[in-house]
Amino acid sequence: MKKKTEHLLFGMGAAVAAAVTATLVSNKLTKALVEEALNRHEPKSIKPIKDNKLDAIFENEVYKDTVAKGEELKEKPMREIEITANDDTRLVGHYYSCQNPKRIVLAMHGWRSNWYRDFGASADFLHNNDCDILYVEQRGQGNSGGEYMGFGMVERYDCLSWVNWLMENTQEIPIYLLGISMGAATVLMASGFNLPNRVKGIVADCGFTSAKEIFKHVSTKVHLPYSLRQSEIENLCREKINYGAGDYSTIDALKDNKTPVLFIHGTDDNFVPVSMTYENYRACTAPKRLFVVPGADHAASYLVDKEGYESNVLDFFSSFDN
């Protein structure tokens, strides 16, 4: 009986130790995921994995010209703009002028990316179709200030600050907001503000619905049950950016939006599910259009169907310029 009791206690101890170890590993992984999502500087444990995945993406035939086009855009003559956000963070943008502009496009890039890579492929298209373009460097990235990215919840205020700068410093022509990935979530969340009448439309390319839903999506992929880690994720987010992951969403903004939106997404997006754009589209109460590209991965709709992308964007401009 004594031996059985000893074996039982040993087994219980081993089970408790295993549970404690699993909890510690889970806590570390949760913290690493939040740091990867929000921190300017990536966790060392995750960066090599992410870099390998990025290398694999850009070896894909579809993306082969993306880097070269980005470098070309980076070298074009532009006016560098600096403004101060509502929380005193320094923000940097690059104003690319055309000869006779009919409209201005405020372009916001994605998560852990940059303005010239995300918009390099489409830059000539916009420039050659009478668009001045203000390429923004998002907070917590590039040359802009800030130690954290806010998954659109914080950046929506930056977007509004850039709109106000355009209102005060440019000629009286239409303004359009354009975003890719997290940039798309940013401009969609900004639609919840009472935007000036000069903002005629929003183009949202592969935007997600909320930080919470992206955390849930990623957690599923790494076999980390979100329901068990939600409280910790919310607390970590609030510590860093004063918002919980579920405190604001594109759905919240779009229910009150008055600005027309063109939603774009690829069916084979492995980072932001196309279902999120369908959710955004259904929630939008303003005039709206939807362009879905079969076979396109994340942020690749322009690369996969250039003709269709350009046709939809130009038709959107012509419909709402006046």
Domain regions of the chain by residue span: 70-210+248-320
Q: How far apart are CA 109 and CA 118, in angstroms?
A: 6
CB 288 within 8 A of CB 316: no
pLDDT tens digits, one per residue of 105-143: 999 999 999 999 999 999 999 999 999 999 999 999 999
With cut-offs at 50, 70 and 90, classify the pLDDT of residue 246.
very high
Strand partners, 105: 133, 176
Token code pair at residue 144: 């802009």
Q: How far apart are CA 251 and CA 151, in angstroms?
A: 14
| C-alpha distances out from residue 46 to 23, 31, 180, 220, Å | 19, 11, 23, 17
Strand partners, 94: 80, 135
In the predicted structure, residue 11 carries a pLDDT above the cut 60? no
pLDDT exceeding 70 applies to what percent of the chain?
Answer: 86
Q: Do the strands 90-96 and 79-84 form a parallel or antiparallel pair, or are they unpaired?
A: antiparallel
Q: How far apart are CA 156 and CA 150, in angstroms?
A: 9
With cut-offs at 50, 70 and 90, classify the pLDDT of residue 56.
low
CB 79 within 8 A of CB 97: yes
State the CATH architecture for 70-210+248-320: 3-Layer(aba) Sandwich (3.40)
Residue 160's nearest CA partner among 174, 149, 172, 175 is 175
Claim: this prediction has a pTM higher than 0.85: yes
Q: How far apart are CA 60 and CA 57, in angstroms?
A: 5
Task: Locate all alpha helices (DSSP H) within the chain, ordered by sequence.
Answer: 2-38, 47-58, 66-75, 115-119, 123-128, 155-169, 182-190, 211-221, 226-241, 250-254, 274-283, 301-304, 306-320
pLDDT exceeding 90 applies to what percent of the chain?
Answer: 75
- pLDDT value, residue 45: 58
Helix (H/G/I), strand (E/B), else coil: 80: strand
- pLDDT value, residue 46: 53
Work out whether the CA dihedral 195, 201, 205, 206 comes out positive or negative.
positive
In the predicted structure, residue 177 carries a pLDDT above the cut 80? yes
Q: Give the mean model confidence (pLDDT) for residues 234-242.
A: 95
